[in-house]
Amino acid sequence: MGALEDRLPAVAAEAVSSCEALTWSGAVMGQLMQHQPRIVLNALSGLMDRLVKFQGRYAELTTVIPRPAGLRCDQLLSSVSAYQPRPRAASFP
């Protein structure tokens, strides 16, 4: 399964005491996903959370906030820091 190639995870952890890491290969994870659909749903949910955060950050970067004439710099910074993009309804059930 192409999406489940053996790759290092994009997370880091540091143990506070002696422990062992439990890992699965991509092939084993693919088999688990075929037999336990909840694993797939959990993975999709996590991906959707990341996508929604990414979309929000992208919207913040691409949204132009109009600056009224005569607005001082400190007022502009205050209005920018208070700006919140409009929430969008998620279509994921």
Q: Which residue has the higher pLDDT, 13 or 8?
A: 13
Domain positions in the chain are 24-64
Q: What is the pLDDT of residue 36?
A: 92
Average pLDDT over residues 11-23: 84
Q: For the chain, what is the mean pLDDT?
A: 76
Q: How confident is the model at residue 1 (pLDDT cuts 50, 70, 90)?
A: very low
pTM flag (> 0.95):
no
User: Is the pLDDT at 37 greater than 70, yes or no?
Assistant: yes
Q: Are 51 and 57 in contact (CB under 8 A)?
A: no
User: Is the pLDDT at 78 greater than 70, yes or no?
Assistant: no
Any idea what the Cα angle at residue 39 is, between residues 37 and 40, rounded to 5°? 70
Exposure on the CB side of residue 1, measured as CA atoms within 13 A = 13
User: Is the pLDDT at 15 greater than 90, yes or no?
Assistant: no
Average pLDDT over residues 43-67: 84
